Structures are given as structure tokens and as C-alpha cells.
Amino acid sequence: IMIVDMDSVNMPNPKFDRFYHANSDLPGNPFLQRAHNIYIDENGILYVFGAGNIGNGGALMFDLKPDPENPAYIGAFDTYYLHDGMVRGDTLWGGAINDDKLVVVDVSNKSNPQILGDIITPNAFTHNCWVSDDNQTVYTTDEISGAYVAAYDVSDPANISERDRIRISYGGTDVIPHNTHVLGDFLVTSYYTSGVQIVDATMPDILIETAYYDTSPLTGNGYNGAWGAYPFLPSGNILVTDIEQGLFILNSTYPKGCYFTGLVKDSITQNPIPNADLVMLNINDTLRANIFGEFRTGTTDAAIYPVVVSKPGYYTDTVDVVLTNGLETHVEIALLPLGFSLEEGSLKSPVRLSPNPAAGFFDLDLSGVDGERATLQVYDMRGSLMMEKTVNLSENTAHVEHGLPNGAYIVQLQTPQALFEPTRLIIQK
């Protein structure tokens, strides 16, 4: 471990000559030969990650407060090899790269750390992790070709769940991410051959790439280019280290994305439609609503986006959605089941039917319905046609017998001149 006296850096003879090997402090008196990374928390505790020649290479812990030039060994977490990690309070967040997972560890007792939870990351090669300012979300990188930056809800470390994931939008899908850091509502991530990416993580379940700078002329999945992006300078500048191109000093305005959320529902029943497909035409972004009919996505640029919404059994609809940077736009999109009218304003008031609930029959009140004949259609709640019958309009009432099973139905009447608003019917025998 190299120790630098920062008070001496502006002096004629800076103190860069202090090295600490910890050979007399560590269990078994091994000689500290190498490590992958270090982290110093707000309590003055030094964590050395990936000391591969000592145990499994987990996290060695040292107290710097008594004498920063002579770290005092106080414990270790050694269940897994940890390639990288960070600590806040009494919680360590580690990348167990050889075991494919993010590990959460209680280090309040440095001599006896306890695992609180873990989760396998999307590409199963967990390199680094960083926790949000509110300690509710952790972001991870997998150091492997085509990998994602992933967001996890860690409000309950024993029940970690993924919230979203994102890959870089430029330089190809095989680029390798290296490290991600959290700066307020944003992620700053180094990608080897694609430089640095900025992601708006205001909503951790809607990760949006809003800026990038490519430092490398190289492309593809090589371990060349940017392998570090440090965003924590008081100036707000970002330091990016590129293996071949050198040091870059960048500045960003950290633009916000546009957040688009909504619900797809049945226009007749008002029930959610699960797994509906949505396509944002301007950017050809395709997504699918969940089983509750809900969807959440985002994009970089403010604009009016035509969104095509479709689901088997329903008429496809296109809606224009106005998205604004920094704002959430929530819409509810109602799809009409096949067999119902699409023309706005073309529906006449519904015909009355009784009894309702009905058993083996129901009567239609046809007073006010002009013409000689009408078509009666009965649909189930999935939009499937269950019964169709021609009704004689010479009488004011039509007696309709049926063999429909118990359940809820939609009844619609149509003449050559008019379409009547659907009516809900309950069959209860």
C-alpha cells in the first residue's frame, strides 16, 4: 500500500516514499504483495480489496485514525474474493467477481463480518458496485463483453431485486463496462473502448443515457481505452483515464432524461391489459407492459413521440405523447376490443336489458331503435364473440335465450344505420 502525505505535495520534497506491507499484522504474517483496489470510508477505515495472496482475497480492514502512515489491521471479510467494493456506515458492498454476484456485508464488527444478502448480476462477472446517496439502490458493472450496468433495490438486503439495467448506446453492443460511480441522480461509468457514459438514474427503474464522451479511437470488446472515470472533484470536472490516450478532464451539465410511464387498459371493462406491446416510432424503442398493464421507460430528448400500442384481441392504437426533460409523463391508454366501434362519437346510448344479473334469458328494450332488424353480439371479457343473433325490431322488446355460462359479458346492438354503446351483462344461474 503506497501512502502519500497530501500536505507535502506542494513542498520541494513531497513524501511519496511510504509503503506498507502489513506482513506483521495479518493473520499468519503473510506479506501483502498486491491488491486490486482500496476504499476509505467516512470513519477512516481502509478497505483493501482483492489481495489475492492473502486468504481468498476478500476485504482487509485497517484503522487509519491513530496513525495514517501506519494502518492498524482490525479484521477481514474473506468468504469470497472481492475484486472491488465500497463501504458506507457499517455496510460493505462488494463485487465477488469469481462468484458472479454482488455481496452485502455487515462490517459493524470488524472481527466477525456477516453477509446480509447477495444477488447474481446480469452477466455474472461482478466487477464493481456503488450505492446511491439514500442507500436504497446499488449499481453494478460486469467486466465482460456486452455487459450491463444494473440497478438493484437493496432496501432489504436479504431480498435484493433488480430494478433496471442499461448498456451503452454507441460503440457496439460488445463493449466492456469497467467502473460505475453515483453522483447525485447520475451514474458516471467508464467503458473500455467507448469512454465515459452518463446515465440519469433519477428513477432507478428508468435508467436513461443522457451524455457520453468517447476517449478511444478503438472499438469492440478489448480491454483498451477508458478504465476509470472519477466524478467527485469539487470543480465538478470528471477525470477519465484512458490506457492508451492518457488523462482526460471533462465537464458535463448532467442533462436529465424524459420519463414515460403509463397503463394500458381495456376501454370497455377498464381492466388492465397485460403484456401489451408499445413502439415509440421516432426512436424505434420497443417495450412491453407487465402483467398489470403497466410500463415504464425513458428517452434522452424532449419531443412529441407517436406510440403504437397493440395486443392480440384489440384494435391497435397510436397516441402522441409529449415528453419533457426532467419530467415524468404518465398516460393511460385504452384499447378497444375487436368487434366494437372505432369511430369517435358514433355510439348511440346503450339499449336497456333486464333482468341483470340474468339467468337463462334477458330482454332487450328496443324502443327508440329505428329500422327493421338489428344484430346482437355478446362478447366475453377477453373480447371473444360468444353469441350473435339477428333481432326483429318490429316489437319494442326482444326476448333473448342463451346458453352462456356464469360470468361477465359485453352486449352490443348494431343496425345498418347505427351502433349502440355496449352494455355490461352478468350471467348468474
Average pLDDT on 64-81 reads 93
Cross-strand pairs, 369: none
**Share of residues in the chain with pLDDT > 90 (%):** 64
Residue 376 has what pLDDT? 87
d(CA 45, CA 41): 6
Percent of the chain with pLDDT over 70: 95
What average pLDDT does range 298-318 have in this prediction?
Answer: 91
Show the cell assigned to 245: 490516450
- The residue whose grid cell reads 468517447 is 214
Q: How many residues does the chain have?
A: 429
Cα separation of 266 and 381, whole Å? 9
At residue 159, φ and ψ (nearest 5 deg) are -140, 65
CATH architecture type of domain 258-335: Sandwich (2.60)
Q: Where are the domains of the chain?
A: 2-251, 258-335, 348-427
Predicted pLDDT of residue 171: 82
Identical topology for domains 258-335 and 348-427: yes
DSSP H or E stretch at residue 365: strand 361-365
User: Is it the case that residue 340 has pLDDT exceeding 50?
Assistant: yes
pLDDT digits (tens, 9 = 90+) for 165-205: 999 998 888 999 999 999 999 999 999 999 999 999 999 99
Assess whether pLDDT exceeds 50 at residue 344. no
CATH of 348-427, one of 3.40.50.20, 3.50.50.60, 1.10.150.120, 2.60.40.3080: 2.60.40.3080
Domain 2-251 class, CATH top level: mainly beta
Look at residue 197 in the predicted model and tell me its pLDDT: 98
Q: What is the pLDDT of residue 89?
A: 96
Tell me the C-alpha distance between 189 and 215, whole Å.
13
Most confident of 19-33, 260-274, 383-397: 260-274
Tell me how far apart the alpha carbons of residues 144 and 400 are, in angstroms, rounded to a whole number. 66
How high is the pLDDT of residue 345?
46
pLDDT digits (tens, 9 = 90+) for 15-65: 776 788 776 677 666 788 889 999 999 999 999 999 988 889 999 999 999
Q: Which of 397, 302, 307, 299 is nearest to 355 (CA)?
A: 397
pLDDT over 70 at 294, yes or no: yes
Which pLDDT score, from 0 to 100, does residue 348 have? 66
pLDDT score of 11: 86
pLDDT digits (tens, 9 = 90+) for 121-170: 999 999 999 999 999 999 999 999 999 999 999 999 999 999 999 999 98
